[in-house]
Amino acid sequence: MRVEACGVCRTDLHVAEGDLAPRRSQVVPGHEVVGRVETRGPGSERFRPGDRVGVAWLHRTCGACRFCAADRENLCLEPCFTGWDVDGGYAERVVAPEDFVHPLPDDLPARELAPLLCAGIIGYRAWRRCGVKPGGVLGLWGFGGSAHVTIQVAVHLGCRVHVFSRGDAHRELARELGAASVQESFDRAPEPLDGAILFAPAGELVPPALAALNRGGVLAVAGIHLSDIPPLDYQRHLFQERELRSVTANTRRDARELLRLAQEIPIRTRTVPYALEDANRALLDLKEDRIRGAAVLEP
């Protein structure tokens, strides 16, 4: 496929800086890829040349292990990931297996669609993992590319969302998108939370997030990498059936549900465009929290 846009994800930064052990030397990063089909391999019939499609983090799975058989392909024993195991979308063209490619609408700019393909999908899975029901109270720690999509889902479902972030620009965007309150990362929550999502890769935020939960609340950690978590106090952080859950990759079902919901709401991403040759600058801006919303590369 010919790449129209590729989102810049924090996972790309973790790969570039070695927080995630390299799977292949000199792999091309990028797994929020929007483009057009150019050519098809033998037996490929799902899409036609010219169709707009998206490539996400999950490049393929084995399809045979017990997790794949149980509709839990995000836990596949032999997975392959875009931009980590195989070359991704920081490029002009990319190749992907048709069964793991997603149809995308033609009526939206590519740069607006790109963040949905990982930031959106993983945020949606984290939303499901934290178990907050429509009309409930949700806390979000960190407010970058993924959180700014997730809050739109939560607000659409009638939730009160409290955002905890260290950046002025991030807090401003959270208010624009309907946050009930916005505060610093370690501030006390205005009310007990039914659930929370930690998007920032900062283990030191786990204790205050757990402490803010109501009885039976769940904290979902959305990142693929997290710094060390400080010691937890059982009574304060875990008692009364509070839970800490990880979020691992995603399934194609997650992608289908999020992309359908994105059109229904509709979700509108806030993006900052960069030329493809400025990928290093985009990654640095992401690291330094200078991006309001999500960064997107455009060849």
In a domain, 207, yes or no: yes
Type and span of the H or E element at 182: strand 181-183
Report the C-alpha gap between 46 and 248 in whole angstroms: 28
Same domain? 140 vs 224: yes
- pLDDT tens, position by position, 54-110: 999 999 999 999 999 999 999 999 999 999 999 999 999 999 999 999 999 999 999
Same domain? 101 vs 19: yes
pLDDT of residue 165 exceeding 90, the answer is: yes
Same domain? 74 vs 106: yes
AA identity, residue 32: E
CA dihedral sign, ordered 112, 113, 117, 121: positive
What pLDDT, on the 0 to 100 scale, is given for residue 96?
97
Same domain? 177 vs 215: yes
pTM for this predicted structure: 0.95
Same domain? 93 vs 45: yes
Q: Into how many domains does the chain fold?
A: 2
How confident is the model over 105-117, as a mean pLDDT? Answer: 97
Helix/strand/coil for 178: coil
Q: Exposure of 270 by Cβ count < 10 A (0-12 exposed, 13-18 middle, 19+ buried)? A: middle
204-235 exposure pattern, b = at least 16 Cβ within 10 A, e = fewer: ebbbbbbbbbeeebbbbbbbbebeeeeeeeee
Write down the residue that tokens 């429509």 correspond to. 134
Write down the residue that tokens 């659930």 correspond to. 195
In a domain, 253, yes or no: no
* CATH code assigned at 229: 3.40.50.720
pLDDT of residue 117 exceeding 90, the answer is: yes
Same domain? 137 vs 201: yes
The alpha carbon of residue 109 and the mean position of all alpha carbons in its chain are separated, in whole angstroms, by 19
| Percent over 90 (pLDDT), the chain | 96
Same domain? 93 vs 127: no
* CATH code assigned at 68: 3.90.180.10
Q: Are 3 and 91 in contact (CB under 8 A)?
A: yes
Q: 216 pLDDT band (50/70/90 cuts)?
A: very high
In a domain, 186, yes or no: yes
In terms of DSSP bridges, do strands 294-298 and 2-8 run parallel, antiparallel, or are they unpaired? Answer: antiparallel
Same domain? 36 vs 17: yes
Range of the domain at 135: 120-246
Of 231, 246, 261, the residue at which a domain comes to its end is: 246
Question: Rg (Cα) of the chain, in Å, rounded?
Answer: 19
What pLDDT, on the 0 to 100 scale, is given for residue 212?
98
- pLDDT tens, position by position, 178-211: 999 999 999 999 999 999 999 999 999 999 999 9
In a domain, 79, yes or no: yes
In a domain, 16, yes or no: yes
What pLDDT, on the 0 to 100 scale, is given for residue 22?
85
Q: Exposure of 72 by Cβ count < 10 A (0-12 exposed, 13-18 middle, 19+ buried)? A: middle
Same domain? 236 vs 138: yes
In a domain, 258, yes or no: no
Of 166 and 39, the one with more pLDDT: 39
Report the C-alpha gap between 114 and 96 in whole angstroms: 16
Same domain? 53 vs 112: yes
In a domain, 260, yes or no: no
Report the C-alpha gap between 157 and 154 in whole angstroms: 5
In a domain, 255, yes or no: no
Same domain? 66 vs 170: no
Same domain? 109 vs 124: no
- pLDDT tens, position by position, 1-29: 999 999 999 999 999 999 998 899 999 99
- pLDDT tens, position by position, 223-268: 999 999 999 999 999 999 999 999 999 999 999 999 999 999 999 9
Q: 167 pLDDT band (50/70/90 cuts)?
A: confident
